[in-house]
Structure 1
C-alpha cells in the first residue's frame, strides 16, 4: 500500500469507526459485532504505525492519553457555568413555578423539560470546526481547569462532531460512572492496596483530575450532555429540540429519562415517577432538573449572579440514616486482602434495611476516627454497599473502643502485612482457608462454573476438613469424601457429584471468569473468549496481542499474561484438564437466529436473572441492551417496570412478558 492508498484507507476507517462509536456509545444501537469493530480498529493502528504522519487529532486511536502534565492550566468560560437553585419539597417547587409565571407575566401553565440530576462532575467541551479543541471542569463557574486530554479518553465524547453540527459549539455535560463499574473499580483498587473511592462522584472527580491522562483512560467514565454555552448560528427554539440536535450532532444525551411536561402538577408527577425508579437506574442521581422549555422564555427570565431563573433542581430525600456500630468484623478476600466491615444496629435507609457498612481500610477508619460503639451516619447509593459518612463524636460516652490494625489473619492466624504503597493488610499464607474458600465460591458461582448445590456452607466444610485444597480437587472427590460433611446424605451427595460432572464442559468465557484473574470480570472474559477461541490460544497470548483488542488495556493484559505464566496456575490448569474439564471452543455459533435483534429487560424478573437473560440472547447471536430505541426488537417487562416500559410504548416497540420471551427462545432452539 502506497502513501496515497494508505491516506484514503485511513480516512475511510476513521469515518467508519467514528460512525460505529456513535451508534454504540450515543444511540446504543450497534450495527456490527465487537469482533468486526476490533478488526477495523487494528487495521487503523497498523496503518498509523506504518504511516505516522497520517495520525490526526480526531483519529479514534487518540484516546489512549497524553504525556503527564505538571499541573492543570485554567481557562475562562465564554459564558458562566452557573449553579442551580434547589427545591427540597413540593412547596418550594411550586414557589419556583409561581416565580416563573410572574416573570413571564402569564397565568397559563408553563411547559418544562425534566431531566435526571446526575451525581457527577460538570464539564464543558469546546468544538471548533467540529473538532474537540478544549475541555474543562466547571470550576467556580467562571474559570475551570483545562482537562482536554483527559476528556479525550472518554469513548462517549466525540473527537469530531457529525455533519450538520455548528462549526463552533460549547457543550455542557456531566461526567459520571455507572454503579457496577464503580464497584468493580473499588474492588480492583482494594486488591491492589489502593484506597477505595467513597462514592461514584468522588471516583469520577479523581479520575478526571489525573495529571496523567493514561490513568483516566483506564477509568470507566461516561458523559451525558445537557446544554450549551456559545453556539454559532441560530439555536433550536426549545430546550427539548436542543437535546435532540445535540444527539444528532454526535453527543450523548439522556433522552430516555427526559420528559416534556406541562405545569407544576405535571412536573411533580414526573418527580415522583423518577424517585420511584431511582434504584433501577444504572447510575446514581440525586434529584431532577427542571427547565423552562422555550429558550426565548429562558432569555426573558434571565439569570441571577449565581443561578438561572428558568431552571431548578428538585432534590431527592437523602439516603442517610443514623445508627450505631455494634462490632467491626474482618473479612478476608481471594487475594488475602483483610477488609474491616461495620456490623450495625439495623436501620432503614431508602426503604432497605441496612445491617452492615463498608469501612474500606485502616487509613479510612483513622480518617473518620471510627470506633466500636460509635453512633454514625451511613449512606447508601443504589446497590452499592452502604458506607459510613461520619462519626457523631458528640454522642460518645467513653465506652467506645478503637480496633487496632491486624497483626495476624483473623482466619488462619498467619502474619498480616501491609506492603509499602498499599493501604490494605494482606494475609501472607498461600494456603489460608479464607482465601481458598473465596476462590472456590467464585469458581463455583452461577456466572462461572455454575455448580448447583455447592453452597457457602458446603465449601466452608470442604476446606476446613481438607476435603479439597484447590478448586481442581472438586473434580476428584467421591461420595466417601462428601460423607465427611455434616448433613450430607446419599441423595445430596449424588446430586452434587452430578452437578460437578455436568460443569466439566463450560463455555470458554465462563471458565476464564471462573479462574479469578484480577481485573477480568464476566464482560472481559467474554471479550477474551471471542478473540482467542480456545484456552490454549489465550494461555499463549502475549502483552501486545492482548492490548490490540478493543477494551483490553495494559492492566488486564499484565494480569492475563502473569496468570498463565505462573507455574502453580499452569499446574492447576493441567489438573483440571486431566480431570476432564474442557472448556468449549468459542466460535460464532451456527445458530444465529437472533442476529441483528436487540432486547431490553426491565422490572423485576422472576424466571431468570438479567445476566441469564443476556446470555440466552447472546448465545443466539442477539444483543441485550440497556436502553430502548426504535430499533429495539422487544422489551421484556417484569413486575414494577418503569421508564423503559414507557419509552417502549411511546416508540411502538413490542412489549413481551417473560413467558413470551421464553416461548420465543424455545421456537428458535427448535429450528
Structure 2
C-alpha cells in the first residue's frame, strides 16, 4: 500500500470511528458493537504507528491520553466565566424575574436547564478543530487541560462545520463510573472520592492524561462563549446550533414563556433528580434572548440575566437499626448510626455519624426509631430528628458502654470534653488508627500504605507499632491479598524513602495529642532534634509562640512514657531521621519554595485536599497562612464558591490562584 492509499485508509477509519463515537457517546444510539469498534480502532492505531506523519489531530486514538505533563499552563479567558447568583425558593425566583422585567421594561422568556454537578470548562475550536480546553479557574484565569479533555469521548475533536468557536460546558462523572471508581479505590485501600463532582475535578486535574482516560468522564455543553461569522439570537437557538456541530447537550432543557413555567420546571425536578444517571445540584435559569442578556448586563460577580435555583438538602425517613462504636487513634469512642439502607440525593446511605453520647441524648434516639436523615451539603449523611409520633413501644434505649468495645478497658470522660475515651495505650484500635495516621500524607507520607494494607498488616500481626513498618520483609508482604511483586517493591521503596523525612513529619506522625502539622513544624524548627524536644519542660515549651499550656502538658506527658523512649530509640536504630532538615524561622527556604516568606489566604471549597491540608503544606514550605485578606497578603488560593475574600483580593490586585495551580506548585 503506497502512502496515498495509506492516507485514504487512515482518513476513512478516522471519519468512520468518529461517526461511531458520536452516535455512541453523544446521541446514545450505537451503530456497531464494542468489539467491532475496538477492531477498527486497532487497525487505525497500527497504521498511525507505521505512518505517524499521516495521523490526523482528530484521530480517536487521541482519546487514550498522551504523555504526562510537568504542570498546567495558565489560560486567560477572553470572556470571564462568572459564577451565578443563587435562588433557594419560589420567592427568590420571582424576585429574579421582577428584577429582569424592571431592567428590560418587558417580561422576558427563559431557558431552563439542569445544573450538572461537575467541573466547568471551556473548549476552543479553530476552523472546526479542537485546539484548547481549560478549567474555569477563578473565572478570569484557568488551567490548560486540553490533553485531559481530549480523553472525553463526547468532546468532538473536529466539528461538522469549519467554524471558529468557543463553547462552555460541564464535565462530569456519571454515577455508575463514580461507583466503579470508588469500588476500585476501596479494594486498593485508597481514600474514596466524596462525590462524583470531586472525582471529575480530580480526574481532569491529573497531570497524566492516561489517568483521566480511565475515568469514563462525560460532558454537556451549555453555552457559546464566542463565535465568528454567525449571528445567534437566543440561548435555545445556541443550544440547537452547538448540537448540530456535534456537541453533546442536555436534552432536559426547556424554553419557558413565563416565570410560572420556570417555577413548575424547578419544582418538578425536586423528586426526579435521583433517577438521573448523573448528579445535578439545581436548575440554571437564563433569560433566553441574547439581546435581553446584553441589556441586563452583569454585576461584579455574576450575570443579571441568569440565576441558579439550588435544591434543598433532601430529607428521607428510614429506621435506626443499631448504633455501632468505633475507637479512633486518640481513644475517642464515636457512635455511628446503622440505618435501613435508603437512597438520599442519588446514593444509598446505610450509616450516619452521631458524633457523641450527648447528641444521642439530645435527640432522644432509641434503637428501632424512625428517623429523618439528610446529606449535609449533599455529601455527609446526618440524622436530623426522631419521629417520636411513629413509635410503637418496642423501641429500645441505647446506653454508651463503660468499657472500650475494642480492648475492654474502662472508658473515661476527661473534664471539659463530651467524648468518652479509652486511655489504654495498648488498645488495638488506637494502634491501628495510629498506624494509618503515621503513614498519611501530612505525616510520613508513605505511598501504598492505605487503610486496607495497614489493616492487613495488623490482622496478620506483622506490625504492632510504627517501628515495625520499617522491619517489613518482602516475602511477608507478598503473602498479603492483592500485593504483587511490583506493588511490594514500590511500597518498600516508599518506606525506605520516608526515613529521610524532616523531623516535623515524624512528630506529626507520632500522633502527640494537640500537636498538628503546624505545631510539629514549630517544635522541629525550635528544638531541631527529637532528643532536645523530649527533655524540654513545660516552661520551655510554653515560651514558644503558638504552644499553649494544654499542648505543652500533652508533649511532656507523651515523652515521659517509657514506651515512647523505647520507640524513639528503635526508630533511630532503624535509620529513621529525627532531626529537622528545613530552614530556621525567617531563614530563606533551601528548596527555593515559591511560598517562602509569603502570606497566603485560603478561601472557598477545595476539591483535592482540605483547606487544613493545604495550610499545612504551604506552611511546611515556609509560607504563612492567615484568615483574612489585607494589603500584606501576597497570594489568595480560591477554591469553588469563593466569596468576599476573592472580591477583596481582586480590589487589592493580589495574585490569585485556583486549586489546580496550587497542586502544581506543591508537586514541584
Q: TM-score, normalised by structure 2?
A: 0.54
| Structure 1 partner of 2:225 | 229
2:303 aligned residue (298, 303, 308): 308
| Structure 2 partner of 1:327 | 324
Residue 290 of structure 2 is aligned to residue 292 of structure 1: no
CA pair 9-121 structure 1, distance change in 2 beyond 3 A: same
2:198 aligned residue (178, 197, 202): 202
Contact 2:123 2:133 survives alignment (8 Å): yes
| Structure 2 partner of 1:13 | 13
| Structure 2 partner of 1:178 | 174
* TM-superposed deviation, 1:84: 0.6
CA pair 90-5 structure 1, distance change in 2 beyond 3 A: same
Contact 1:88 1:316 survives alignment (8 Å): yes
2:271 aligned residue (259, 273, 276): 276
CA pair 12-298 structure 1, distance change in 2 beyond 3 A: same
Residue 448 of structure 2 is aligned to residue 421 of structure 1: yes
- 1:502-513 equivalences under 5 Å are none
| Structure 2 partner of 1:130 | 128
* TM-superposed deviation, 1:425: 3.0
Contact 1:192 1:422 survives alignment (8 Å): no
SS at match of 2:63: coil
* TM-superposed deviation, 1:371: 5.5
* TM-superposed deviation, 1:149: 0.7
CA pair 327-110 structure 1, distance change in 2 beyond 3 A: same
| Structure 2 partner of 1:398 | 418
Residue 143 of structure 2 is aligned to residue 116 of structure 1: no
* TM-superposed deviation, 1:186: 0.7
SS at match of 2:313: coil
Contact 2:194 2:379 survives alignment (8 Å): no
* TM-superposed deviation, 1:420: 5.5
Per-residue CA deviation, residues 334-391 of structure 1 (Å, 9 max, x unaligned), is xxxxxx99435789986999973379xxxxxxxxxx9654859975499x9965799x
| Structure 2 partner of 1:597 | none
SS at match of 1:172: strand
* TM-superposed deviation, 1:3: 1.4
In our comparison, the structure showing a higher alpha carbon Rg is 2
Contact 2:74 2:141 survives alignment (8 Å): yes
Residue 271 of structure 2 is aligned to residue 251 of structure 1: no
| Structure 1 partner of 2:148 | 150
Residue 51 of structure 2 is aligned to residue 46 of structure 1: no
* TM-superposed deviation, 1:90: 0.6
Per-residue CA deviation, residues 107-152 of structure 1 (Å, 9 max, x unaligned), is xx43211100111110001111211111110011111011111111
Per-residue CA deviation, residues 38-59 of structure 1 (Å, 9 max, x unaligned), is 2211111111122122222211
| Structure 2 partner of 1:87 | 87
Q: Distance in 1 between matches of 2:155 and 2:95?
A: 37
SS at match of 2:64: coil
| Structure 2 partner of 1:214 | 210
Q: Distance in 2 between matches of 1:180 and 1:32?
A: 22
2:312 aligned residue (284, 305, 317): 317
CA pair 50-405 structure 1, distance change in 2 beyond 3 A: farther
- Over aligned residue pairs, what C-alpha RMSD do you find? 4.0
The alignment of Structure 1 onto Structure 2 pairs a total of residues equal to: 399
SS at match of 1:23: helix
Contact 2:72 2:207 survives alignment (8 Å): yes
Q: Distance in 1 between matches of 2:75 and 2:306?
A: 25
Q: Which runs of 5+ in 1 are unaligned?
A: 331-339, 360-369, 391-395, 411-416, 433-516, 519-554, 556-671
Q: TM-score, normalised by structure 1?
A: 0.54
Q: Distance in 1 between matches of 2:6 and 2:125?
A: 27
Q: Distance in 1 between matches of 2:178 and 2:349?
A: 22
CA pair 169-373 structure 1, distance change in 2 beyond 3 A: farther
Per-residue CA deviation, residues 504-551 of structure 1 (Å, 9 max, x unaligned), is xxxxxxxxxxxxx99xxxxxxxxxxxxxxxxxxxxxxxxxxxxxxxxx
- 1:506-545 equivalences under 5 Å are none
* TM-superposed deviation, 1:2: 1.9
Contact 2:114 2:280 survives alignment (8 Å): yes
Q: Distance in 1 between matches of 2:13 and 2:20?
A: 10
Contact 1:328 1:343 survives alignment (8 Å): no
* TM-superposed deviation, 1:159: 1.1
Q: Distance in 2 between matches of 1:104 and 1:120?
A: 32
Contact 1:22 1:250 survives alignment (8 Å): yes
Q: Distance in 1 between matches of 2:422 and 2:213?
A: 39
| Structure 2 partner of 1:464 | none
| Structure 1 partner of 2:410 | none
Q: Distance in 1 between matches of 2:127 and 2:345?
A: 50
Q: Distance in 1 between matches of 2:298 and 2:58?
A: 36
CA pair 198-328 structure 1, distance change in 2 beyond 3 A: farther
Q: Distance in 1 between matches of 2:129 and 2:45?
A: 21
